[in-house]
Amino acid sequence: MTDAYLAIVLHAHLPYVHHPEHESFLEEDWLFEAVAETYIPLLLAFDRLRRDDVPLRIAMSLTPTLLEMLVNPLLKDRCVRYLAQRAELADRECRNGRRTEEHRLVADHYRRHFSLARDFLEKRCGGNLVNAFRELQDAGHLEVLASAATHGFLPLMLTPNAVRAQVAVGVSTVERHLGRRPRGMWLPECAYKPGLDDVLADEGIAYFILDAHGILNGFPVPPSGVHAPVRCPSGVAAFGRDLESSKQVWSSEEGYPGDGAYREFYRDLGYDADYEEIRPYLHADGVRRNVGIKYHRVTGRVDLGEKELYDRPAAVRRALDHGAHFVFCRQHQLRFLRGHVAEPPLVLSPYDAELFGHWWYEGPEFLEQVFRVAQHVRDDFTVCTPSDYLDLHAPRQVSTPSSSSWGDKGYFEAWLNGACDWIYRHLDKAEQRMVELAREYASEPPSPSVRAALNQAARELMLAQSSDWAFLMTNRAAAPYAEKRTRTHLHRFTRLYNMIRSGNLDDGYVGRIFGLNPVFADMDYRVYL
């Protein structure tokens, strides 16, 4: 045991996508893919670590929208259906006489993978993955961070009450699902501007996480940089992202996931298979898309058609090597930092959870190996969570962090540019109107009908505020869907606003649109006061 620390933080988030009006819906696959390829593989890895008594301490943000989807009955059923279909497809591939023996070995891996995932979801978790996360938390292995209610981009919200509402509903939703009040807050997109920490302090949040330059450009400049948290004027602690360990996993030049042995994401059976064979596993429009069965490995900088066959055991071995290498690098980094940083040094490594498994297929095995190896180097550093660190070492650096995000170019442009800037005038107007309604009904209790409409208006506003929509518009990927979601929620909000204002309430409409997006069932519009 030593006074040097490594904290790994995984940010698990998806926007709320729920379309009961369709038998199947393309964007719902985001959740099913993440469950099949990231959340369950990570939980299985954590189970193996616990079975082997390997010390496990990890922090994860489970965003409110993700939690609400994971417990949604329709999405749970559809997720089981997705896993069953994929297992069936993999089984057919195993028996496909036109595949080589090498192909069948890979297909057999997928057959077992999807079957295992389905068993895990149905039998181990009773259909509810939140149960597994909660169990890990209660056993002392997992610290869950909150996030804003719908991952709203807080620095671009002009109405302070709207920021407070996103934070308050985010914290209470995570508490409702996990049974514990979270101490940490994952700011959506790590986006911060001075003063935001005051809102977090009001909600009892002890810390949040920023990209490195948010800390390094703080005022005054903190002498220990990102290797110890800073104390904001509000008293809330801010942790900074470690650059070196981030690069090792993220960088397109030096990152592990680009290794030739790893599974190639972009070469998918959905495009390679005979059309009639794959048609039953595509969406109703019959367009070829990824189906999650991929026979090839990264290989190198070659065209997709020249990728070599995936060798699962070799890929796992490489992930184990990389896990060991990651720990080796942290040993050296922290030894160096102990001599150069006045406080007990910390390396805090935050990643998108979906990187592990979905994008980097072998990521869960890598992460598992990091914990296995780290137990042997406890003379050099201790694996902890941000809360563990704060319990041992109160922040001594006092500084106001700088405006920043972890997006492209480090500030807010990825969410505020020519492709998406039109949304803000409408969001801002809706925020003002929501506050206006909340104030009007603050002292005089509304009728049940009006209360339901007010609460639904708050939900529609929050759903429109998801940072994902602006991001998708910027990247031109799924942009029509993102635009439609933004416009639809704003339109519904405005209709509710007009109904409440005019007194012509349509209870059927209010109930119907809640059924389409049954999120935050305990919403109380007074959160906008």
Contacts to other proteins from residues 260-299, by CB under 8 A: 260, 265-266, 290, 298-299
Among 301, 443, 502, 508, binds other proteins (CB under 8 A): 301
Among 165, 171, 490, 510, binds other proteins (CB under 8 A): 490
Report the candidate in 190, 201, 186, 187 with the shortest Cα–Cα distance to residue 232.
201
- Give the span between the Cα atoms of 94 and 148, in whole angstroms: 44
- Give the span between the Cα atoms of 51 and 140, in whole angstroms: 14
Nearer to other proteins, 454 or 478 (CB): 478
333, with CB counted inside 10 A (0-12, 13-18, 19+), is: buried
Listed ranges 68-76, 141-149, 160-168, 218-226: which one lies at the site for other proteins (CB under 8 A): 218-226
Per-residue x/- track, 327-366, other proteins (CB under 8 A): xxx-xx--x---------------xx-x---xxx----x-
Instruction: Please report how close the Cβ of residue 4 comes to other proteins at its closest, in angstroms.
Output: 14
Among 109, 124, 176, 393, binds other proteins (CB under 8 A): 109
Residue 320 interacting with other proteins (CB under 8 A) = yes
Among 143, 197, 343, 468, binds other proteins (CB under 8 A): 468
Size of site (CB under 8 A) for other proteins:
113
Q: Which helix (H) or strand (E) segment is 352 a member of?
A: strand 346-352
Do the strands 237-240 and 230-231 form a parallel or antiparallel pair, or are they unpaired? Answer: antiparallel
Footprint on residues 1-20 left by other proteins (CB under 8 A):
14-15
Among 425, 439, 501, 512, binds other proteins (CB under 8 A): 425
Footprint on residues 150-189 left by other proteins (CB under 8 A):
155-156, 158, 189
Q: How far is CA 497 from CA 22, 425, 457, in A?
A: 27, 17, 7
Please say whether the beta carbons of 169 and 209 come within 8 A.
no
- Give the span between the Cα atoms of 298 and 267, in whole angstroms: 9
Instruction: Please report how close the Cβ of residue 153 comes to other proteins at its closest, in angstroms.
Output: 11
Footprint on residues 375-414 left by other proteins (CB under 8 A):
376-377, 379-380, 402-404, 406-414
- Give the span between the Cα atoms of 364 and 416, in whole angstroms: 33
Footprint on residues 49-108 left by other proteins (CB under 8 A):
none
Q: Coil, strand or helix: which one is 391?
A: helix
Among 74, 477, 521, 529, binds other proteins (CB under 8 A): 477
Listed ranges 67-75, 142-150, 455-463, 473-481: which one lies at the site for other proteins (CB under 8 A): 473-481
Instruction: Please report how close the Cβ of residue 217 comes to other proteins at its closest, in angstroms.
Output: 5
Instruction: Please report how close the Cβ of residue 216 comes to other proteins at its closest, in angstroms.
Output: 4
Please say whether the beta carbons of 333 and 381 come within 8 A.
no
Footprint on residues 233-252 left by other proteins (CB under 8 A):
241, 243, 246-247, 250-252
Instruction: Please report how close the Cβ of residue 181 comes to other proteins at its closest, in angstroms.
Output: 27
- Looking up tokens 């660190």 gives 389
Q: How far is CA 403 from CA 192, 343, 410, in A?
A: 5, 25, 9
Instruction: Please report how close the Cβ of residue 430 comes to other proteins at its closest, in angstroms.
Output: 10
Rg (CA), the chain: 23
Instruction: Please report how close the Cβ of residue 183 comes to other proteins at its closest, in angstroms.
Output: 23
Q: What does the block give as tokens for 60?
A: 């994860």
Task: Dump the DSSP string for 410-470.
Answer: GSSGGGSSTTTTTHHHHHHHHHHHHHHHHHHTSSSPPPHHHHHHHHHHHHHHHHHTBHHHH
- Looking up tokens 């996993």 gives 249
Among 8, 167, 178, 472, binds other proteins (CB under 8 A): 472
Among 23, 253, 276, 444, binds other proteins (CB under 8 A): 253
Q: Which helix (H) or strand (E) segment is 12 a member of?
A: strand 5-12
Listed ranges 88-96, 259-267, 338-346, 453-461: which one lies at the site for other proteins (CB under 8 A): 259-267
Catalytic (active-site) positions: 189, 352
Alpha helices in 71-206 (DSSP H): 73-94, 101-119, 129-138, 160-178, 196-202
Instruction: Please report how close the Cβ of residue 200 comes to other proteins at its closest, in angstroms.
Output: 19
Nearer to other proteins, 19 or 317 (CB): 317
Report the candidate in 89, 72, 65, 255 with the shortest Cα–Cα distance to residue 174.
65
